[in-house]
Amino acid sequence: MATQSPFSFVEDFFKSLPVPTPPAWAIDETHRKCVLVLNHVLMQEPEAMQRLLRQSGRVILAQWRIFTFKIRVTPAGLLDLAEEGDTPDLTLVLTEESPFALAQSLLRGAKPPFRIEGDVQLAAEVNWLADNLRWDIEEDLSRIIGDAPAHMLAEAGRKLSAALRDFLGQRIRDKAASEANPGNTA
């Protein structure tokens, strides 16, 4: 008999809830803030901007469940929100429906499962960005609160992330072991 996580009821509960549709202004503002953060990270890596420069004018559509995010590559090698009627050159669809499974995948450092449709070269550039771009949040925090407090906060974040990865890894190993030995309920 396979053992079930004691917290699976939480995920089942959230799956049963209807997903509320946020107001249009909130969606637009969230998209604008995401573009600002993405551009901030891109500006810290000149190679990333050079790669995007070659894709100027291309449109990327990212989608997960009912949520969509459409951006255009600018002539400066940065990103901007795409217009409503723009046809995407590349579509990225996250295929994992469960937010909990998606979070587990991200905390393990794995890429979540997704489907890609569209321009191969643009997809290769987006893949390079996903593999190589990292936000140096410690550096940004140090500008606001100083080097020592920023380092302490970043270290605490790394330890929390490592603890979550270890916890999730053990949970995944336990689940795999229980599925491999269905007669063992211990």
Q: What angle do CA 101, 99, 112 make, to 5 degrees?
A: 55
Does 156 have pLDDT greater than 90?
no
pLDDT tens-digit map of 81-117: 998 889 999 998 888 777 777 777 766 667 777 888 8
8-134 belongs to CATH 3.30.1050:
yes
Q: Quote the mean pLDDT of the chain.
A: 80
Alpha carbon distance 131, 125 (integer Å): 10
Section 150-154 average pLDDT: 80
Q: Cβ distance 61 to 90 under 8 Å?
A: yes
Question: How would DSSP label each residue in 58-82?
Answer: -EEEEEETTEEEEEEE-TTS-EEEP
Alpha carbon distance 129, 144 (integer Å): 27
Residue type at 50? Q
* pLDDT grade for 1, boundaries at 50, 70 and 90: very low
